[in-house]
Amino acid sequence: MPADRVNVLDSRSKMVEGDSNHDPLIGATLGGLYRVERLIGIGGMGRVYEATHTMLGKAFAVKVLPEGRADKPDATERFLREAKSATKIDHEHIVRVVNFDHDEEHRLFIVMDLLQGENLADRIDRGALPVDEAIEIARQTGEALQAAHDAGIVHRDLKPENIFITKKHGKDFVKVLDFGISKIKNPEHGDPKLTATDQIVGTPLYISPELARGVSVVDHRTDIYALGVITYEMITGTPPFTGNNHFQLLYKHGNEAPDPPSQRSKKASIPAHVESAVLRALEKNPDDRFDSMRELCAALEGPGVPRRATTWGIPLLVAAIVAGIAFVVWPMSTPEQAPEVEVPAVPALPPPVTQKSDDYAEPSQPEVSVERVKVELDSRPHGAFVALNGEKKGKTPLVLELDSGTEATVRFSLQGYRPEQRRLVATKDDSLVVRLKKRSRPKPPPIKTDF
């Protein structure tokens, strides 16, 4: 990925050195309040500057719509939409827009918080991220997009360049940028219809299948797909699909199944539940994806925490029973009667309590009891035969209980599809979902690139 694809403030900008000396806006005061200090970058939707509020002395990022585009209704509408979307959501993980105005020369501009840090694209350029770090960035991004979806807004152009990483209390803090091509649901008129020249929107590396096909009406699940692509790229270092041109990318997003992330990862193993969540987010049919960003983030963080917590129920119950017995027996004892309260009284307790008390009396040897974990297995499509180390177990969806630490090879097979095989290490409650590929697939028509 090119290192200069974005700058630190604007998702569509490109760092341009030396332009500041020739920019007529340097030194100008926009709207009588924002004195332009320097050019930060240039993008398709405008130039971005650092500007100082003349009354407050505070620095802001100001995006100015180019004069050549100010008289085009579609450009001004996108510019206004970006400002409206960000202010309507008002979420901590979305860049804050503080003003939208025009100056005496009728130049439109948006005033935003000035961010310090780097965008996700620059971080990925240095290589795949640790899985925990990638999940945290995906979680914060998902929270921002969930807030947007709750407000009736679909971003439609989510990509690493639009995810900015700053710091808060010493930790990574995500800000989502650039709602220029978002769709805002209008209660009076429904979803706005785009012109024919605006049917395909978004960036080809991260575009959803429905947008790749030119579907005019999309919903929040197109953002779920994009975040799935971004998460895939974060944990593997490469996007699921690449191509020599836009047409190849559009075809692959619309028709081809991605390789499992574990086959692309070169650094560390990818947990089964993370791979399963990413592949589900990348389903071609929106109905097969998660219903919300909230569900996707929960799946990425992993199942099993509540279920694993229940394994403490028996020891805690035993402790409570023993404590209760001690509480009842102790007040009935007096110094003269103390010799009568001794171990022989214990066998009089009901057998189940006696057994539990013995178990509880040896907490230093928990390894005697082998912990069991649950592994949920599923396939797309459903109904695949599952074999564990060559032993048939049933059809998907399927739940297996295994001893903790079990290592096994899981094979999925379904008539008409190529079998898939995965290595499984059962150390905790987990899930594994595979997408089966058809045995034969019609080849795509040749794409001419010499035009």
Residues annotated as part of the active site: 157
Residue type, 399: V
Q: In DSSP terms, which residues pair with 386 in a beta bridge?
A: 394, 412
On the question of a cis peptide bond just before residue 24, with omega within 30 degrees of 0, the verdict is no
Token pair 């079998």 is found at 419
Q: Where are the alpha helices (DSSP H) in 53-191?
A: 73-89, 120-125, 131-150
CA angle at 173 for the pair 97 and 92, rounded to the nearest 5°: 40
CA dihedral 376, 382, 387, 391 (to 10 degrees): 90
Nearest to 273 by CA among 307, 242, 309: 307
> Which DSSP category does 20 fall into?
G
Question: CB atoms < 10 A from the CB of 1, how many?
Answer: 15
CA dihedral 355, 360, 365, 369 (to 10 degrees): 50
What is the Cα–Cα distance from 84 to 310, expressed in whole angstroms?
47
What is the Cα–Cα distance from 235 to 130, expressed in whole angstroms?
7
CB 252 within 8 A of CB 243: yes
Copy the structure tokens of residue 333: 């004892």
**H/E segment holding residue 247:** helix 246-255
Strands 391-395 and 372-380: unpaired
Question: What is the distance, to the nearest Å, from the Cα of residue 423 to the centroid of all Cα atoms in its chain?
Answer: 24
CB 48 within 8 A of CB 13: yes
